[in-house]
Chains A and B, each alone.
Chain A
């Protein structure tokens, strides 16, 4: 547990949000297998969506897996519980590059899956406190805090277009955090941490100008992606 708190945050709220939500945030690890060698290619985050094993994350976290034709790419979801971290291979259920969303599925026992509490993003207000839980640089379950800095921002998507309705926050989001949860002070998911604004020459280091896909979008598109492949029925 590595909370990094901003000054304007009530300590007890931050701790309560973290305790309520950390189990719903998972790690994503992308691998490439070449013969005998297994190379770890990247780390991201995801959010447990339901007890069926659906995990919501960013498209760009699984873009390699999505485009892989050789079968060499794999993605593992790590769920950290009391007994340590259990790892499950993930398969893609649905992708939405325009919204930078991906839905994965793992076969984990329902008892180990603690779905995130879902909120709404349409009624967010600039200035309210938000918390990001993710795995920046592989530091599992890092909590950062900040405020909603702006609403309805347009950011570039992996699909090449501008995607609107993004939440802007100064809660630090770094590489590895994307796909993680952005929560309000009631520990409800209000967004999916997605990007930080940086100069092109630098790595994806948080500039304090960070973006999350609103949960209203995640809910609509996520459910659509789950249903579209008919895996449920």
Chain B
């Protein structure tokens, strides 16, 4: 609406006049109304009505007329009214609300239009009354409706904008954290799936749309394996001696280079992947000037996190790019049962909303450091229920350098398969990692580990590993987690509980030399 107070710019008023036109439907004499409004705006401040001497509510008729006729806009208004023969504007005896309103327009000549409320609001009221009058078959009806309501102006129904207080320190910290880190977060789209990166999400995003973050200024991107599972699952294992030049193009990576919508999309080449850990490294190869503008994320550590600590997730849930959600660390040391079949230990649980599309994106602490890679959610609705899981960044720190160097993660392994929690419970093994099978010729066999075997009473459970050197193994996933601290060829001492029949158990120490194993 064109509120003249403070604005005498014809441009501003013209724009508003367009809006004002919409306010009154086509039944009006539209052209007259435009003239009315435009005139009022351009006249604002320049032709103040003549002074009124009478107190408000008791206008001297002559003075009222003078006031009206000095203002060309109101002149038109008066003409309209008298044309309808419904109202004698100058007659104080009629004591009608509209007359009062009109009389109120009178004000000392030098009162500026900007003066709070008085002139322009009332003029506005008069003009709008005129418009309402034109809409009514008889002006009498309009007058009646005005009589029942207190004289109102547009200002009564346009709320004033209240001033804001400055943001609290915590709010500013989150705002700053977003601004500093949003450029490190990229949108990843599986190139083999139909369609491509979209600007907005209308429907649920299919698998193949996920998030990643920039690792370094060479253009390496970290994401989850499962974001690109459709294409990665079909690739042959990369030979250890494979060169960079042979890297397959697997994704479209959209990078936010600057503020606003300054994004560019590049091909993402597969550098390395590890299915068991659900991690994958891509590389984009943009021109030098873009490479220089890349903002890598900074990695933190996950060993020293605390439950209750504030965290922030950045990602592309449902395709809404660069979404920030916040929460706390709800739990530590969790195990993610990866949809690819592996168990990822040392995971961080959070209630920051994580949804499909967030996978592969960073979980940041309040200092803006990556402490996890958002990977999974526990839900029966398919969307966030406040139970989200991120691979700890310490795992990422171990796995990613190998993925970059050789394309895969070679883990120090015992060459055994460990029973998962359900099987162990069936065999009444409450603690530790129970050996389910031992690969022939592997490190575990050479160390003397025994799988489940027959005995007189039925089946004896396999050896249960309860510690690797000094690291306690309480759950099945703890064993793989413990072994991650070692390199291929390291010698370790395993504490093992061996069943000796009839619930008898003996504790043994077995020595193993870890072998190489990759998923």
Contacts and interface: CB of A to CB of B under 8 A. Distances in A.
B505 to A, nearest CB: 45
B146 interface: yes
Contact of A118 (B22, B159, B171): B159
Contact of A52 (B145, B157, B171, B382): B157
B81 to A, nearest CB: 14
Contact of A233 (B145, B162, B168): B145
B157 A115 contact: no
A202 B383 contact: yes
A125 B161 CA distance: 18
B175 interface: yes
Interface string A69-110: 000000000000000000000000000000000000000000
Given A185-B168, A205-B381, A147 B204 contact: no
Given A202-B382, A219-B158, A170 B204 contact: no
Looking at chain A, what size class is its interface with the partner chain? 35 or more
A49 B157 CA distance: 8
A219 B168 CA distance: 26
Looking at chain B, what size class is its interface with the partner chain? 35 or more
A127 B23 contact: no
A186 interface: yes
Contacts of A207: 317, 353, 355, 381, 383-384
Contacts of B326: 6-8, 146-147, 170
A169 to B, nearest CB: 9
A223 B157 contact: yes
Nearest to A233: B132
B488 interface: no
Interface string A114-137: 011111100001111100000000
Interface string A171-205: 00000000000001110100000000111111001
A165 B511 CA distance: 64
A208 B168 contact: no
16 contacts: A7-B326, A118-B161, A118-B162, A129-B167, A129-B168, A153-B200, A170-B324, A185-B165, A185-B168, A188-B164, A197-B318, A207-B381, A208-B354, A208-B384, A232-B149, A232-B157
Given A186-B162, A227-B1, 17 more contacts: A7-B326, A49-B159, A119-B162, A126-B182, A127-B179, A147-B324, A147-B326, A149-B320, A149-B324, A153-B320, A197-B383, A199-B381, A207-B355, A207-B384, A227-B157, A232-B149, A233-B149
Interface of A: 6-10, 13, 49-50, 52, 54, 115-120, 125-129, 146-150, 153-154, 156, 162, 168, 170, 184-186, 188, 197-202, 205, 207-209, 219, 223-224, 226-228, 230, 232-233
